[in-house]
Amino acid sequence: MKLLADAHISRATVNYLAGLGHDVLHAAALSPRMSDSAILKRAATDGRVVLTADKDFGELCFRRLIACAGVVLLRLSAPSEAGRLETLKRLWPLVEPNATGHFHVIADSTIRRALLPSVEE
């Protein structure tokens, strides 16, 4: 799967997903000040699912109707990066098969999934 990790996603998370065979592009490698809407547009152009910890992406996808391939929002509360990564490792297999076309919210012990709205480009 092709992913675009928002600037707030840790290098450890990017490395983990790349190690699973995903093509992961980190937004920091594109532009350190890339806006959320620009990230969504770039991801849509490249066919990438956005990986983020920023709740603003829900607003962009569902209210402003900015097209995207998919979004995975991480809402993990472990105090350490290692703890957050362990939670992601446990829950990622449940998200991975349905990431495209959906907005997922991964929390500490739950996953919510919604179909992204159809958007005319």
This prediction's pTM: 0.93
How does pLDDT run across 4-53, given as a tens digit for each residue? 999 889 999 999 999 999 999 999 888 878 899 999 999 999 999 999 99
46 phi, psi to nearest 5 deg = -90, -5
How does pLDDT run across 67-112, given as a tens digit for each residue? 889 999 999 999 999 999 999 999 999 999 999 999 999 999 899 9
